Amino acid sequence: MTEIPEHLRKRAEEARAKAAASAGGGDAAPEAAAPDAATSEAASKIPAHLLERSKAARSKSGDGDTADAGAGVGTAVAATTGAPPAAAGPAPIPAGPGGHTQRLLTVVKSGSIQDVKAVPQDKVHVWPHLLIVEFVAALVVTAFTLVFSIFVNAPLLELANFNETPNPSKAPWYFLGLQELLTMFHPMVAGVTIPGMGIFLLMLAPYMDKNPSNKPEDRKFAISLMTVHLMFWAVLVMIGSFFRGPGFNFVFPWNDGLFFEL
């Protein structure tokens, strides 16, 4: 049987002594009745619905009314009904609701008796951890650009002659993809519809692929979408840079020469 705590024994002993004094119980020693009173005190902490479930389970299994949910429960029932406690015998096996041999604390949620702490997450604050790294990276790029511009001159052409239009007249390389689309579609489709659809799909990518993993093999959808987008744009830029000659007509650079300038 489960050992009764010492403070419950003392409280039961005091309550037993007061009850004996008020009822004129004679010279009965309170020490002899301390285990029964302490058990009654402990059993009174058990909810009524658990007691009913235990009684129903024991009556269904055919154990009879002599065996109860434990020595503490039997003493508690005897104390509430005023019946004398049962004769001493072999200690019954404590059983919980449904006849399961378990402690009462096993059916109590852990949050009500102990402080449960959440598992620490692998996260850090944006400031200072992230912003400091980004600031240092910006300083490094700025310093590299400054030093590079000192030692390397930009490939500028001569002054533009507004009386003579160069042929072919090409946009900067980063706009050659749009210029290439203009040769295939209407300006509304090439300049607004197709780029807008591409940007819209890239905006929806984080909502369609919610996998938190950082491994490329786990992010096949996001990587495939970004790869198709980059390859589509890179092919258009390469065609506009190396395969467009005078009049922006399609030419082969190894036959007609290279018409590309930075």
146 and 169 both lie in a single domain: no
Mean pLDDT of 22-39: 52
16 and 103 both lie in a single domain: yes
Report the alpha-carbon distance of residue 87 to residue 57 in Å, rounded. 23
pLDDT (0 to 100) of residue 89: 52
pLDDT (0 to 100) of residue 132: 94
103 and 12 both lie in a single domain: yes
Tell me whether residue 67 is in a domain: yes
**Quick one: which of 97, 91, 53 has its CA closest to 72?**
91
pLDDT (0 to 100) of residue 102: 56
Residues 6+ away with beta carbon under 8 Å from 240: 170, 171, 173, 176, 177, 179, 180
Tell me whether residue 69 is in a domain: yes
Query: How many of the other CB atoms lie within 10 Å of CB of 28?
Result: 11
Report the alpha-carbon distance of residue 32 to residue 12 in Å, rounded. 11
The pLDDT-based confidence of 30 (bands split at 50, 70, 90) is very low
Q: What is the pLDDT of residues 69-87, one digit of tens each?
A: 444 445 544 444 444 444 4
Angle between helical axes of 30-43 and 6-23 (0-180°, round to 10): 110
pLDDT (0 to 100) of residue 156: 78
Q: Which of 97-101, 103-107, 117-121 has the lowest mean pLDDT?
A: 103-107
pLDDT at 173 over 50: yes
Tell me whether residue 38 is in a domain: yes
Which residues on adjacent β-strands are paired with residue 237?
A: none
More confident residue, 12 or 119: 12
74 and 128 both lie in a single domain: no
168 and 228 both lie in a single domain: yes
With contact defined as beta carbons under 8 Å apart, do 69 and 51 qualify? yes
% of the chain beyond a pLDDT of 70: 67
pLDDT (0 to 100) of residue 154: 80
SS3 106: helix
pLDDT (0 to 100) of residue 165: 84
Q: For residue 168, is the peptide bond before it cis, meaning its omega torsion is within 30 degrees of 0?
A: yes
Q: What is the pLDDT of residues 189-244, one digit of tens each?
A: 999 999 899 889 888 888 888 888 888 888 888 888 889 989 999 999 999 999 99
pLDDT at 136 over 60: yes
Mean pLDDT of 21-47: 54
192 and 241 both lie in a single domain: yes
Between CA 183 and CA 187, with CA 186 as vertex, the angle to 5 degrees is 85
51 and 64 both lie in a single domain: yes
84 and 148 both lie in a single domain: no
72 and 161 both lie in a single domain: no
pLDDT at 31 over 50: no
148 and 218 both lie in a single domain: no
pLDDT (0 to 100) of residue 131: 93
Residue with structure tokens 């235990």? 54
More confident residue, 233 or 7: 233
Looking at the structure of the chain, the number of domains it has is 3
pLDDT at 47 over 80: no
What Å distances lie between residue 88 and 75, 79, 80, 84, 85, CA to CA? 12, 16, 19, 12, 9
Six-digit token string for 137: 């990276």
Mean pLDDT of 126-134: 90
- The 10 Å CB-count burial string (b at 16+, else e) for 176-194 is bbbbbbbeeeeeeebeeeb
Judge residue 11's burial from the number of C-beta atoms within 10 Å of its C-beta, 0-12 exposed, 13-18 middle, 19 or more buried. middle
pLDDT at 41 over 70: no
% of the chain beyond a pLDDT of 90: 17
Report the alpha-carbon distance of residue 119 to residue 51 in Å, rounded. 37
pLDDT (0 to 100) of residue 94: 56
The boundaries of the domain holding residue 47 are 6-107
